[in-house]
Structure 1
Amino acid sequence: MNNMTETNAAGVSAGGFSGWAPIEKSSSQRSQANIIDYDRVCREFSWDAARSQLSGLPNGGVNIAWEAVDRHLGSPTAGVVALRWLRADGQVVEYTYAALAAATNRFANVLRDNGMRVGDRVGVLLGRTPELYIAVLGALKAGCVVSPLFSAFGPEPVRQRLAIAEAAAVVTTAALYRRKIAPIREEVPTLRTVLLTDGGPDGVDLPAAMAAADDHCAPAPTGPEDPALLHFTSGTTGKPKGALHVHGAVLAHRITAGYALDLRAGDVFWCTADPGWVTGMSYGVIAPLCLGATVISDESEFDAKRWYRILDEQRVSVWYTAPTALRMLMRMGDRPPDGTDLSALRFVTSVGEPLNPEVVVWGEHALGHPVHDNWWQTETGAIMIANLAATQVRPGSMGRPLPGIEATTLRRGPDGRAAVTDGAVTSAEPSEVGELALRPGWPSMFRTYWGEPHRYAQCFAGGWYLSGDLARRDTDGYYWFVGRADDVIKSAGHLVGPFEVESTLLEHPAVAEAGVIGTPDPVAGELVKAFVLLRPGYEATEELRADLLAFSRKALGAVAPKTIEFTAALPHTRSGKVMRRLLKARELDLPEGDVSTLEGPS
């Protein structure tokens, strides 16, 4: 097997592969965390026992909306603010749990009045507004399958997803309908109903229908294996994949939010991810409501000063955001704007792409807390591996598997994926690069790719779910991301993880962000090339290029980039990931594949 080079593996004995010193937690931080004794909880945990935390439908069964909203009725939490929506113009709109229950009941009744049946797919194409939360939870309550859609999608990505889902209805605004759905509606023959949150002639006038609807609604008698959510994830070359999740996934949402986000009743929680993406749905909508927290939802896009003001004025206690956003805040310096009060903030965590070590350490100085990385996928439905509130943080590591999750790294074949021989696989040794794999059985594991059972079957081998991500595991069980199997660069006998090279470049004071790819070379196979976005105040000169090359060679040795190209922007998904495959496609003039989740206007 080819392992990472000695240069890249250095620092294991110091607490990890990155070479950054571990961050220890104070006794106060440890004692107040939701999970204190990690090893004991892992030994004793079982999903069957954890199910006692669910309320369950009155007549049996499980429904996500019931667990998120209705379970709180008749308790003191009914009067607690469930959703606090921050409008772009500064106004604030609030819904208590009781008010949210009534609104979602009305919406469920509207769906039923318009012929929606249990199992019908309902697309939700809305920005971050209260109507989005009401539509999602109301549709789940009615037993429909919700397919969240980015409001910034263009007509073609919307068409693809609605057509694959065979959607019966879509909830949107009049403006979004005219721009994104009307041009493609004839190509989605299953689409019977359009519900418009601001009314209009093109569909059901939702405000009027909601006003006339009953605010009492018996939830559909769904069970734990009934379909609930259809999340789409981009394909590298072809159409997007629809990962189907069930109502029983709510148990994993609830449990992992408590463990990985240290979330609890009474918290003010802000997840900055758009609910059109799985993080924004699992942890921006479902999990915090299940636990009785107050959810902050901001209508506006990223603005550093506004975000600091929200953390301060809303007294956010738990914050879940993306590495890209944190790196943009880093550009403002090592401290928040003068007068910013972050004393309410207790826990900071991040997902979307691997978290560079310097961002973890910056968080401790600027926010008062290290940023806690975690790892999961659309397919897993919930957080699988995380840095916890009570345990040591190793900058650059995504942490350890949560209780109830069995993970490993598998030895790889020539194609970089797990080697399967006669249906069997072999675990990699500690510090060896392998494909990250999980033992199936957690409640939020996707149940299929919609309409593509053969594609789904290819995700499993030897009793493991194969993630497609490459990672290393240190001797203490911490996992370290290397890259997607199709991102890793093979150069002159070395396996180069682009994330590790990017993290090294970010340690240079001139670098705001970096994206690394491999380019063909007749001798080495591939050469490492870096695209670098500079911090304000630095100019893209040949002297700076030479300095960056020397800086990276000193840190990385033979696997350092051979060429550096300065760029004004890097392509990101809306969830914050640098789209390395898009950088490579543009560099080599290859097909770009599915770019529907790319940032930018549409």
Structure 2
Amino acid sequence: MSVWDDARLRLDGLPDGRGLNIAHEAVDRHVIRGHGDRLALRFLRRDGSVGDLSYRDLGRDSSRFANGLDALGICPGDVVATLLERVPELYVTAFGTLKARAVLCTLYAAFGPEPVRVRLAKGRVKVLVTTAAQYARKVEPVRRELPDLTSVIIIDGDPPPGTAGWQQLMSAASDRWSIPATSEDDPALIHFTSGTTGTPKAALHVHQAVVAHEATAVAVLALGPGDVFWCTADPGWVTGVSYGIVAPLVCGATGIVDEAGFEPERWYRILAEQRVSVWYTAPTAIRMLIKAGDTLPRRHDLRALRVAASVGEPLDAGAVLWGREALGQPFHDTWWQTETGAIMIANRPGEPIRPGAMGRPLAGVEAAVVTRHQDGEAVRIEPTEGSGELALRAGWPSMFRGYLGDDARYRAAFAGGFYLTGDLVRRDGDGWFWFVGRADDVIKSAGRLIGPIEVESVLLQHPAVAEAGVIGLPDPTVGEMLKAFVTLKDGIAGDAALGRDILAHARRRLGPATAPREVVFRPALPKTRSGKIMRRLLKARELGLPEGDLSTLEDEPAASSAPPEAKASS
């Protein structure tokens, strides 16, 4: 029996057999079952105050919003977007949209005007919920270029001309709403990819995705009623929706929502004071916590924490083991993509962890290592035959159903009944999968394929290194030579001697053929706003090539504030 079959038995479905709707499973069914007073969401505000929403509160408010959408003439399949930080109105909008059978698209609030315009246009968004400041800076100047955008709802202050006010919309709406019959194949969610390898894509998901949200939250995160769950991902990204909005509430847990940004002392305080039992975060944040030292976690009582998991990019073995030493729990790495909609491969709680491994596929996920032929067909590779592209047998509940406006690109992602992920992996004889790199990132040197993750993981084992990114550069002898970019832990200065020591460390661990020839110290590495290192950008800057789409690039330190670059060569 697959995890999907188990999840379907735990879900209720709409009353009278009217189908499957994400909002009903996450909110309304708990109220119907008599759990309306249970705490659904706790908001930790920037000013230190706390705001709570019960399941009953969330049910009523989201029903008001669904009625408000109906009054605006929004129909099933129309797209409703948010451009908000982690505030209650975002979560109310999310479930109200799904109740109305409209399609939810959450946009990252830190996007600049052009990325916002592109996503609103590509998603053919009809309703946008945002703040007055966001509207004035990012939307109003380009609204004439967005003919599909018929309504803008402002959550704060007096609504500018051409917009409506949140309070007026909600106060005029009833808090009673009957979710219409919903097919599990009705569109529900649009997620934009993070753009690590090129222009972001808009992946469409359906209401059936809730089966995978529930199944993976139970099987991988061990979530259930009574748990206090903290997913640190921003809801502008797929993780922040699948596991920050939907999954914990489907499971009847309490979700912690931190409205402030990353700060090590604050994060440890949240874990301790909120008695967080399940924590889902990203490798970038974990490395920043490691960089902050081991003294901070010892100041806090973290005994409530029973599961710590990671998502976003591969987690090196050292970070996995650091979790056990500093937090009392190892980090369980998980693998999935925007396109998969939910966790597919993981180190599961209650099972042995292989530090540095992606994990093993969940029951119901058929994963294979394949190679692509020029005709587009995929052929399996046996475990002993080395690395290849990770492929998943199509048909899991949260599988994306299309790329908006790009049918050809969607069709090209499938071959022989498999979804081709674009990630290169190897599988060992025990069925564990190990990440090699994105197909676009793999380095070809002296006839060998070298995954940057393997090299970066070794660099991160050096006591001075906080972050690492590795690329291949043209070399007349071996084809490509490896160059490493690293950031250093607090209090450590980079100089030529340290660079030589890091290179020697890499040669000892990897051998001279796989180790970088050069290391460069940087104050920060270019990352997407979801925390993934943008190796393509490192390479483009080194070679003087066009940088391509930068809409998801995290703000970088100003040149004037950055320490001078240092480097060393072997």
TM score, norm. by length of structure 2: 0.95
From 96, 102, 112, give the equivalent of 2:60.
102
1:489 lines up with 2:443 in the alignment? yes
| Structure 2 partner of 1:598 | 553
| Structure 1 partner of 2:515 | 560
Aligned-partner Cα distance in 2 for 1:238–1:512:
26
Aligned-pair CA distance for 1:282: 0.1
Aligned-pair CA distance for 1:422: 7.5
Structure 2: which 5+ residue stretches go unaligned?
558-570
Q: Is the 8 A contact 1:104 1:134 kept in 2?
A: yes
Aligned-pair CA distance for 1:408: 1.0
Q: Is the 8 A contact 1:236 1:593 kept in 2?
A: no
From 42, 49, 64, give the equivalent of 2:22.
64
From 370, 377, 388, give the equivalent of 1:423.
377
1:433 lines up with 2:433 in the alignment? no
Are the structure 2 counterparts of residues 99 and 479 from structure 1 closer, same or farther at C-alpha, using a change threshold of 3 Å? same
Q: Secondary structure at the match of 1:85?
A: strand
| Structure 2 partner of 1:580 | 535
Are the structure 2 counterparts of residues 107 and 45 from structure 1 closer, same or farther at C-alpha, using a change threshold of 3 Å? same
Please list the CA deviations of residues 525-557 of structure 1 after superposition, one character each: whole Å capped at 9, or x if unmatched.
Answer: 100000010112221111111111111111111
Aligned-pair CA distance for 1:51: 1.8
| Structure 2 partner of 1:163 | 121
1:230 lines up with 2:185 in the alignment? no
| Structure 2 partner of 1:354 | 314
1:390 lines up with 2:347 in the alignment? no
1:304 lines up with 2:264 in the alignment? yes
Please list the CA deviations of residues 183-211 of structure 1 after superposition, one character each: whole Å capped at 9, or x if unmatched.
Answer: 22111111000011114232111112212
Aligned-pair CA distance for 1:150: 0.2
Aligned-partner Cα distance in 1 for 2:198–2:519:
30
Q: Which amino acid aligns with 1:248?
A: Q
| Structure 2 partner of 1:187 | 145
Aligned-pair CA distance for 1:75: 2.6
Aligned-partner Cα distance in 1 for 2:534–2:258:
25
From 461, 467, 472, give the equivalent of 1:507.
461
**Aligned length in residues:** 553
1:210 lines up with 2:170 in the alignment? yes
Aligned-pair CA distance for 1:492: 1.0
Are the structure 2 counterparts of residues 538 and 49 from structure 1 closer, same or farther at C-alpha, using a change threshold of 3 Å? closer
Q: Is the 8 A contact 1:425 1:461 kept in 2?
A: no
Aligned-partner Cα distance in 2 for 1:343–1:424:
47
Q: Is the 8 A contact 1:363 1:371 kept in 2?
A: yes
Aligned-pair CA distance for 1:47: 3.5
1:339 lines up with 2:307 in the alignment? no
Q: Is the 8 A contact 1:195 1:205 kept in 2?
A: yes
Please list the CA deviations of residues 545-586 of structure 1 after superposition, one character each: whole Å capped at 9, or x if unmatched.
Answer: 111111111111110000111101101112211111111111
Q: Is the 8 A contact 1:237 1:591 kept in 2?
A: no
Structure 1: which 5+ residue stretches go unaligned?
1-43, 413-417
Aligned-partner Cα distance in 2 for 1:491–1:422:
25
Aligned-partner Cα distance in 2 for 1:473–1:120:
42
| Structure 1 partner of 2:429 | 475
| Structure 1 partner of 2:494 | 540
| Structure 1 partner of 2:206 | 246
Q: Is the 8 A contact 1:156 1:184 kept in 2?
A: no
Aligned-partner Cα distance in 1 for 2:3–2:217:
16
Aligned-partner Cα distance in 2 for 1:342–1:373:
20
Are the structure 2 counterparts of residues 263 and 49 from structure 1 closer, same or farther at C-alpha, using a change threshold of 3 Å? closer
Q: Is the 8 A contact 1:315 1:344 kept in 2?
A: yes
Aligned-pair CA distance for 1:595: 1.7
Q: Which amino acid aligns with 2:246?
A: I
Q: Secondary structure at the match of 1:320?
A: strand
Aligned-partner Cα distance in 1 for 2:139–2:407:
28
Please list the CA deviations of residues 364-423 of structure 1 after superposition, one character each: whole Å capped at 9, or x if unmatched.
Answer: 00010110001000000000000011111000001000111010111x3xxxxx236573
Aligned-pair CA distance for 1:236: 6.1
| Structure 1 partner of 2:11 | 54
Please list the CA deviations of residues 259-317 of structure 1 after superposition, one character each: whole Å capped at 9, or x if unmatched.
Answer: 11111111000000001100000000000000000000000010000000000000000
TM score, norm. by length of structure 1: 0.90
Q: Where in structure 2 are the equivalents of 1:78-117 lying within 5 Å?
A: 78-117=36-75
Aligned-partner Cα distance in 2 for 1:296–1:55:
25
Aligned-partner Cα distance in 2 for 1:48–1:356:
33
Q: Where in structure 2 are the equivalents of 1:125-140 lying within 5 Å?
A: 125-140=83-98
Note the aligned Cα RMSD (angstroms).
1.5
Aligned-partner Cα distance in 1 for 2:375–2:173:
59
Q: Secondary structure at the match of 1:127?
A: coil
Q: Is the 8 A contact 2:7 2:214 kept in 1?
A: no
Aligned-partner Cα distance in 2 for 1:428–1:476:
12
Are the structure 2 counterparts of residues 216 and 470 from structure 1 closer, same or farther at C-alpha, using a change threshold of 3 Å? same
Q: Is the 8 A contact 2:69 2:100 kept in 1?
A: yes
From 369, 387, 400, give the equivalent of 1:446.
400
Q: Secondary structure at the match of 2:357?
A: coil
Aligned-partner Cα distance in 1 for 2:251–2:196:
36
1:144 lines up with 2:102 in the alignment? yes
Q: Is the 8 A contact 1:234 1:594 kept in 2?
A: no
Q: Secondary structure at the match of 1:596?
A: coil
Aligned-partner Cα distance in 1 for 2:295–2:426:
33
Q: Secondary structure at the match of 1:254?
A: helix
Q: Which amino acid aligns with 2:78?
A: D
